[in-house]
Amino acid sequence: MKSSVTTVAAVLLAAGACGAPSAFAAAAGLDRVVAVVNDEVVTEHELGERERSAEQQLAQRHIPLPQADVLRRQVLERLIVDRAQLQMAKENGVRVDDATVNAAVQRIADQNSLTLPQLREKLDQEKTSFGRFREDIREEIALARLREREVDSKINISEGEIDNFLAEQAGQTDAKAEYDVAQILLRRPENASPEQIDEVRRRAEDLRSRAQKGEDFAQLAASYSVGAEALKGGDLGWRSAERLPQVFLEAVRGLQQGAIAPVVRSPGGFHVLKLVGRRGVGTEKAAIGPIEQTHARHILLRVTDATPEPDVLRRLQDLRDRITKGGQDFGQIARLHSVDPSSTRGGDLGWLYPGDTVPEFERAMNALKPNEVSEPVKSPFGWHLIQVLERRTEQDSTEHARLAARQTLRERKSEEATLEWLRQLRDRTYVEYRDE
């Protein structure tokens, strides 16, 4: 039930996407080439569009703009890294079909409480073509699949690591704390000499000193960080203590809000960290114990151009009446009408642990008695009818705790491994700068 597509939809909706002229047009002299990335070009038009998008994004976050040449350099570097990844995806046969793009676009519209026509209108207001928006989404999905193949599939978690993690969690008093952390990432070159590493460290220490003296951290991140979130002021967003890289958590755990941590080194480079906020700190320790599970099934319908929201609600209410008043089988109705992949199983989601579904779905599910069918429930995925089949209490949740620990450790390792993979990819990429 949780989204499997990681996307920059909010940025795309707010700032618009950028178009790129063809390489043929550039070669014909209609658009100046500013860089060559392996065997492809980055054009002045493409770079200019990305610069304008970045300026809008920073302005909406009330982040002071870096100097024009600094912003241009940052945006060009991001374009180069993105282009190198897309080239690798193409070489490895990573393809994203139209059906996948359509589903992702619909999900973005749902998450922003928009119908598809309203989404198109929003994009038109931002002077962004719907076709370009779709291609940006296609590229985002392709990059996510590439990283799953090149990074996530190669991550191994040992039983010993899980044992150590659970032991640490059992002794922590901030297991439920959430942190909002911003970072400035400076990447170290591949096969860097000790002198080169010291130089990167000195630059990081200088940026930390400037932030401590009162310079705007977000502006410094936008100007100097090579992290993917640089143009968001380096903000990583709210994360639980479990989901922060361990070196980050150790660095910020004892800080006051707004403080800057000592420079942190990781395999990807050096990090300057700021604790933007902390919430949910309590004294409850992570523990293994009884946990309630729910066996549920559902019917999912989505709002589309052909079926606007009022029609979806009418259809769901009719289906509910056929089940609750007409005695028709929920599973058979789900097989015939639900658009969720679970429809082949009669909508059966199996036994669910707390947190397995999105909050809107879980709240509605928890309010139901066994065999009761909900009224239509809205979530980021669409509109649902939910039926609880049964509940049980698992007295020993050790297996679930170990599975959750494995997933947390995988997320931590994935973030660090992705930074290192991107660093290596960038160092292997042939780049010729032609920007004047």
Beta bridge partners of 183: 273
**What percent of the chain is predicted at pLDDT more than 70?**
89
- Residue 229 backbone class (left: φ over 0; alpha: ψ -120 to 50; beta: rest): alpha
pLDDT at 172 (0 to 100): 63
What is the C-alpha end-to-end distance of the chain, expressed in Å? Answer: 49
pLDDT, averaged in runs of 10, over the chain (436 residues): 37 35 42 91 90 88 91 92 94 89 84 83 84 90 91 89 81 71 89 89 96 95 92 89 84 92 90 91 49 92 83 94 94 93 92 85 94 93 94 74 82 84 90 83
Residues above pLDDT 90, as percent of the chain: 46
Under CATH, to which class is 291-394 assigned?
Answer: alpha beta
Mean pLDDT of the chain: 84
Look at residue 188 in the predicted model and tell me its pLDDT. 83
Q: What phi and psi, each to the nearest 5 degrees, are found at residue 430?
A: -80, 125
Which of 31, 27, 54 has the alpha carbon at shortest distance from 40? 27
- Topology (CATH) of 159-285+401-428: Chitinase A; domain 3 (3.10.50)
How far is residue 167's CA from residue 174's CA, in Å, rounded to a whole number?
14
CB 18 within 8 A of CB 53: yes
Q: Identify whether the C-beta of residue 134 lies closer than 8 Å to the C-beta of residue 141.
A: no
User: What pLDDT sits at residue 110?
Assistant: 75
Give ∠ CA 193-198-202 in degrees, rounded to 5.
150
Q: How far is residue 316's CA from residue 319's CA, in Å, rounded to a whole number?
A: 5
CA gap 179, 244 in Å, rounded: 8
pTM for the whole structure: 0.64
Residue 37, number of CB atoms within 10 A of its CB: 19
Compute how many other C-beta atoms are within 10 angstroms of the C-beta atom of residue 410. Answer: 15
Residue 284: predicted pLDDT: 40
Question: Where, residue-wise, is CATH 1.10.4030.10 in the chain?
Answer: 9-150
Which residue in this structure is represented by tokens 């994009």? Answer: 123
Number of helices (H), then strands (E), in the chain: 15, 11
SS3 assignment, position 89: helix
The residues with which 40 forms a beta bridge, in sequence order, are 37
Residues of CATH 3.10.50.40 domain(s) within the chain? 159-285+401-428, 291-394
Q: Which residue(s) pair with 42 in the sheet?
A: 35
pLDDT, position 14? 34
Per-residue pLDDT tens for 252-290?
A: 988 999 999 999 998 878 999 999 998 875 434 444 557
Phi and psi at 10, nearest 5°, equal -60, -40
The one-character DSSP state at 150 is H
**CATH architecture group of domain 9-150:** Orthogonal Bundle (1.10)
Q: What is the pLDDT of residue 231?
A: 87
